[in-house]
Structure 1
Amino acid sequence: MSGGESSRDDSVKNITNNKETYELRLGQFNVLNLQKENVTFYHGNRFTPDQVVEKVNWIGGQLKKMKACIVGFEEVFDHNTLLRATRASGLYKDSEVYTANANGHSPTVGLASKFPVLNTQSIIDFPKSALMEYNHIQIPITKFSRPVLRASIQLPYHITATVFVVHSKSKKPMVPKEHRHEQKSKSMGSALSLLVRTAEAVALRHIIIDELETNKNCPLILLGDLNDDVHSVTTEIISGTQPWKSLPTKMKNAIWETLLWSTSEIQVRTMSRDVQYSHIHNGRYDVLDHIMVSGHFVRSNPKYIGAVQYVQMFNDHLVDETLLDESPPEIESDHGQVVTAVKLFSERCTKKSKKATEEEDSDD
């Protein structure tokens, strides 16, 4: 695990002295092959020093637009290059920046936080409870294709949140290069990719359930490129699904306490039509980049301490290549950036924090 400095800017340090509410801005950013100069990332490709400077400045510019307090990153090859990019924004000069085992050889995930990061963990192995069998034969997928980054972060009003940064297996068919245009091989390769992504979703769901059942007073935030849309099977495995309305209230409450809510879906319900997208592939516009929150930040939950206010998609740089002959610049990301604003309520947070402290004291 690679880490950053411990000092933070004064606006964050003094935040508990501000108004009775605080706007917490959460960001999601797939940076696309963030590698240092003259080092290969995919298919023998590498960036020149000038290209790295361009890419770092472009990422910094996007971060400046996003103005997020906490940002999750994917496709990070090099920790120091991510550090340069966050510093280039002018917003994270004294913030903490972490990556999950960024070794320069394979892409991983990262995190920048303006708030104190209490601890971090890189998760590679599936929990034992998530190992699946079919006809008494174990499915041989036991690790995440990219590490999952878990962090405990101290938010305003004495609230500790658990943040996960995730990059799920892509839809790209797992097929040898020489067979990539053979339709039968391609169908099998797509199925294999889906199988891996599904197994990862199950493992992540088990981790989320354990986290929410163990730390009921801590809100959970998931930032990630899940490589599927909000209503796909794999995404709904991760979030969990709403309980059937006829279930007993006690059972429904137990289910609700372990669910995650898609913030973009919360926004869609207030819009006259859905115009959101964070990725374009072969003419198809999708939201692959997700920000999910536990019920602590959902207003319909009687115990909410914050509420999702709005979601922004920074996607003006995305190009539909089916409509144009040109390709997008190499230094830009092929994903849009997502920001969710959550309003924290001081009085509700204080009550939740006090309750958590009392429960910890009673356990002792």
Structure 2
Amino acid sequence: MSFNHSPEITSVNNAAASIPHSRLKIATFNLFNYLEPPFAYYDFERIYSAEQWAKKQKWITDYVNEFQPDVIGFQEVFSPEALAELLREQGYEFFQVVDQPEVIDDFICRSPVVAIASKYPIVDIEAVQADTTLALAMGLKEDFSFSRQVLRATINLPHIGDCDCYVVHFKSKRPMLEHEESKSLSGEKNIIEKLKAQVAGGWGSTIQRGSEAALLLVNMIARREETGLPMILMGDFNNILADGVLDHLVTDTLRFVSKLDSDAYLEKYCLKDSWDLFQGTENNTEHILRKPTHYFGASSSVLDYILLSCEFDANYHSSLFEVSEYNTYDRHLINPIFDRDGESTDHGVVLVTLQLRS
């Protein structure tokens, strides 16, 4: 399906494109065990050789040079200093993390962190904290915390000014509980115990992931109420957005409130999936299917997202930008070449282009 573009629309778009910095590119990038040798990730045997590390560094550099994102949210960062140096060489003057990975036995690293890099000034940085009172009201522990610390960076972007950019890596689907096989149990009993641990542990991970998303969104709404700043949420959600676990991140209903008030407040305080915003613009004339960002066995899913506030929604009367392009870089997943992609990542890289509206 295609649309006919009138000369008036074309001239308006060309006028906007002629304005300096009229296009902003935002990417979310799971680096998959980014750790500089001689450190090891998770156990002592997992250490990149010098050749492997050089190949991984080149793969990241090649992507950045080809697509030129202005802001990148990263996940699975074990070596933030090395990443900051690599990106500085590519023109990213601003780089931040709010946490450090855990190091055990002097060289084995666990608990990678998220990071953000920007070509524009990062004017404020903060680790998002869960509201403990609300966590208790939700039936969670008083000391509830995010499985991976959430980063909020306020970045001074062209035309729009300060914008709150959040980078997340929500709890994985790996079950929280695991049964270690016992020689004192029969084979059947060991399998039954593994099944029970998988069921209960998997649900525990789901509760954690959904709770992280809910408490983060509450924090974002409170921050928005206080500052009025535009919001961008990007990262590896470890879940599809629409299956009930995370769909509150794109809440579109408000109960027991008039429709007029509901629409106004949802529009102001809630987020929309950048893919949906792209689908709704005249720039998308083909209505192509959304590409998965992760493959597991024979299945595939979209786990990596960029969500945007109304300032980036073309249907919002006061929006400044609109989503003009949406790209999922997946060549390394569907058609890998070892010499090129051997040390890449197990996720697709999602990038959206925001075009200034005239």
One of 259, 284, 301 as aligned partner of 1:286:
301
2:211 pairs with 1:211: no
Distance of aligned partners of 1:329 and 1:24 in 2 relative to their CA distance in 1, 3 Å threshold:
closer
Contact 1:35 1:104 survives alignment (8 Å): no
Alignment of 1:215-364 (within 5 A): 215-216=227-228, 218-243=229-254, 247-268=258-279, 271-319=286-334, 331-345=343-357
Contact 1:32 1:333 survives alignment (8 Å): yes
Letter in 1 for 2:118: S
For residues 257 and 39 of structure 1, the distance between their equivalents in structure 2, rounded to whole angstroms, comes to: 45
2:80 pairs with 1:69: no
Letter in 1 for 2:155: I
For residues 276 and 244 of structure 1, the distance between their equivalents in structure 2, rounded to whole angstroms, comes to: 33
Partner residue, 2:107: none
2:84 pairs with 1:91: no
Distance of aligned partners of 1:122 and 1:330 in 2 relative to their CA distance in 1, 3 Å threshold:
farther
For residues 249 and 131 of structure 1, the distance between their equivalents in structure 2, rounded to whole angstroms, comes to: 30
Letter in 2 for 1:82: L
For residues 245 and 283 of structure 1, the distance between their equivalents in structure 2, rounded to whole angstroms, comes to: 43
Partner residue, 1:13: none
Unmatched 5+ stretches in structure 1: 1-15, 348-364
Per-residue deviation, 1:246: 9.0
Contact 2:132 2:143 survives alignment (8 Å): no
Q: Give the secondary structure class of the aligned counterpart of 1:151.
A: strand
* Alignment length (residue pairs): 319
Q: Give the secondary structure class of the aligned counterpart of 2:343.
A: coil
**Which moves more between the two structures, 271-280 or 34-43?**
271-280
Contact 1:281 1:320 survives alignment (8 Å): no
Letter in 2 for 1:38: P
One of 89, 98, 101 as aligned partner of 2:99:
101
Q: Give the secondary structure class of the aligned counterpart of 1:192.
A: helix
**Which moves more between the two structures, 105-114 or 59-68?**
59-68
Percent of residue pairs identical: 23
Q: Give the secondary structure class of the aligned counterpart of 1:145.
A: coil
Distance of aligned partners of 1:318 and 1:158 in 2 relative to their CA distance in 1, 3 Å threshold:
closer
Per-residue deviation, 1:28: 0.6
Q: Give the secondary structure class of the aligned counterpart of 1:232.
A: coil
2:30 pairs with 1:30: yes
Per-residue deviation, 1:238: 2.4
Letter in 1 for 2:246: T
For residues 36 and 286 of structure 1, the distance between their equivalents in structure 2, rounded to whole angstroms, comes to: 29
Per-residue deviation, 1:175: 2.4
For residues 159 and 124 of structure 2, the distance between their equivalents in structure 1, rounded to whole angstroms, comes to: 19
Deviations 1:326-359 (A, max 9, x none): 9x966211001010011123x6xxxxxxxxxxxx
Per-residue deviation, 1:130: 3.2
Q: Which has the larger radius of gyration?
A: 2
Per-residue deviation, 1:79: 1.2
Letter in 1 for 2:355: K
Deviations 1:67-95 (A, max 9, x none): 100000000011122124424xx632x52
Q: Give the secondary structure class of the aligned counterpart of 1:237.
A: helix
Contact 1:162 1:220 survives alignment (8 Å): yes
Contact 1:21 1:343 survives alignment (8 Å): no
Deviations 1:160-187 (A, max 9, x none): 1111111100111122262697222211
Distance of aligned partners of 1:320 and 1:66 in 2 relative to their CA distance in 1, 3 Å threshold:
closer
Per-residue deviation, 1:228: 1.1
Letter in 1 for 2:237: L
- RMSD over aligned CA atoms reads 2.9
Per-residue deviation, 1:119: 1.2
Partner residue, 2:135: 131
Contact 1:74 1:225 survives alignment (8 Å): yes
Per-residue deviation, 1:21: 6.9
Q: Give the secondary structure class of the aligned counterpart of 2:148.
A: strand
Partner residue, 1:6: none
Q: Give the secondary structure class of the aligned counterpart of 1:251.
A: helix
For residues 219 and 61 of structure 2, the distance between their equivalents in structure 1, rounded to whole angstroms, comes to: 32
Compute the TM-score of the two structures, normalised by the length of structure 2: 0.81
Contact 2:160 2:320 survives alignment (8 Å): no
Compute the TM-score of the two structures, normalised by the length of structure 1: 0.79
For residues 66 and 287 of structure 1, the distance between their equivalents in structure 2, rounded to whole angstroms, comes to: 20
For residues 134 and 57 of structure 2, the distance between their equivalents in structure 1, rounded to whole angstroms, comes to: 38
Letter in 1 for 2:239: D
For residues 177 and 99 of structure 1, the distance between their equivalents in structure 2, rounded to whole angstroms, comes to: 34
Partner residue, 2:157: 155
One of 120, 125, 130 as aligned partner of 2:125:
120
Distance of aligned partners of 1:115 and 1:300 in 2 relative to their CA distance in 1, 3 Å threshold:
same
For residues 255 and 317 of structure 2, the distance between their equivalents in structure 1, rounded to whole angstroms, comes to: 19
2:207 pairs with 1:195: yes
Alignment of 1:48-63 (within 5 A): 48-63=49-64
